[in-house]
Structure formats: C-alpha cells, structure tokens
Amino acid sequence: MVNDPKQAVTLFRQAVSDPLVIASLGPNNSVGYVPVVPVSEQLEMPLISNGSGAIIKQWSPFAYRVNPVASIASPRMLQKVVGIEKVKRLAIIYDQSHDMQVSDAMFCRNLQKDLGYELVADETLRSGDRFLGSARQDRGFEARCRLDCLAAKRGAEHRPPDPQRRYR
C-alpha cells in the first residue's frame, strides 16, 4: 500500500467494500500497517503484513504479522554482522522519521558493550536531508546489512562489501 497512514486506511476500507476481496496483504510498512490494525477488527477483514516491525499497542484478532519483530530480529542480525565482520567501531546513521530505523539505532546503542564495539557516531537525519555529520569522516570498512541504520566501521582496512557473501 502506501506510506501515509490516512491513505492506507482509505485504501483498506475501499478493499473491504469489494465483495471479491477476502483479505488484505499489506500494507507492509509500519506507517501504513499500524493505523489499519484497529480498522481490520472494526470491519472484520483479515490483514496480513510481512514487513511491519513497529510495536502494536492493541492487536486485532484479524491482524497478522508474519515477519520476526524488531526486538528479536535486529539484535540477532547485529550480533551476526559484528561477529562475522569483527566490527570494532560502529557509526549509526538513521532517518528519525522512520520508526524501524529509530528502533534499530536503539539496539545499536544498547548492545555496544555486550557485543564489544565502540559507537563512534550517532547521527539522525530526515528523508531528503543532506547528511553532513561526523560519521562520514571515518573512511573505514562499511558493511551494510538488513539493518537500515547500520554502518559498521573497521580499522583502516578498506574493501568494498562482497555482494555474494551471505550473512547467516
């Protein structure tokens, strides 16, 4: 669906009015999914998402999420990347208007002691902003993974990420 809460609710209501529609697959992002959850109960239409990771304060018996939630997936992914890449320094650069990136940044901050890396920058931006923060000064290795907020830095070594490498 869309990246606007009001439009997501409007499109969901339109789908429900069609007698051929038996369920809604999406919205997949949290911005659209969260406001549609209570509407799914109100209209008794199954709602299935595979991308939303935001916390839902009150679940609907008609709403389903088939992906792991951030509180489980993000720390495990971070632990794997830090272990595989032997990350010693980490910079967080995230969009403060994107709830999943804010959540991932929090995990990066909270797990630094447990996982043994130093947090060298914690920068926020908003979609469309130019990033001119301190983290761009460090020209170390960058490992990009599923965590949108993660930019892992390692020493003076510089090699491009290997697109064929699989993180398990």
pLDDT tens, 122-151? 988 776 666 444 444 333 333 333 333 333
User: Which tokens in the block code for residue 9?
Assistant: 């609710």
Domain end, chosen from 37, 65, 93, is at: 65
| Inside any domain, residue 164 | no
Q: Do residues 140 and 89 make contact, with C-beta atoms less than 8 angstroms apart?
A: yes
Helices (H), the chain: 5-17, 30-43, 70-85, 99-110, 112-115
Do 75 and 38 fall into the same domain? no
Q: What is the CATH number of the domain that holds 107?
A: 3.40.50.2300
Which structural domain range is residue 21 located in?
Answer: 5-65
Give how many domains the chain has, as a whole number: 2
Q: Could you read off the pLDDT of 69-108 as tens digits, one per residue?
A: 778 888 888 999 899 888 999 988 888 887 778 888 999 9
Domain end, chosen from 43, 65, 87, is at: 65
Strand 118-125, strand 89-95: pairing = parallel
Q: What is the predicted pLDDT for the residue at 113?
A: 95
| Inside any domain, residue 144 | yes
Closest Cα to residue 75, out of 93, 53, 48?
A: 53
Do 79 and 116 fall into the same domain? yes
Q: What is the predicted pLDDT for the residue at 128?
A: 63
